[in-house]
Amino acid sequence: MLRLVNIGFGNMVAADRIIAIVSPDSAPVKRLIQEAREEKRVIDVTQGRRTRAVIQTDSNHLVLSAIQPETIAGRLTGKEFITKDEEKEF
């Protein structure tokens, strides 16, 4: 059965395709994003908001989300929650 995870603004990603969920703040992750942009492997679902999570898939695509990595991880494990910062945005 296909399990989808909400990654913000009604966008979903297949849970079994996710390899990693990381913060975009470090230099190595920023380099990964830049390389993926150049190779047309970035899927940006932030709708113009700040990128807070980078999801790497098994197809080597990077999905940029405006939702905190902890929130997405909670949704993956079934522990749905929204941080106080995200409540203010939505």
What rounded mean pLDDT belongs to the chain? 91
What tens digit of pLDDT does each residue of 46-61 get? 999 999 999 999 999 9
- Exposed/middle/buried for residue 55 (C-beta within 10 Å: 0-12, 13-18, 19+): buried
pTM, 2 dp: 0.86
Q: Coil, strand or helix: which one is 76?
A: helix
Residues 20, 83: Cα–Cα separation, whole Å? 20
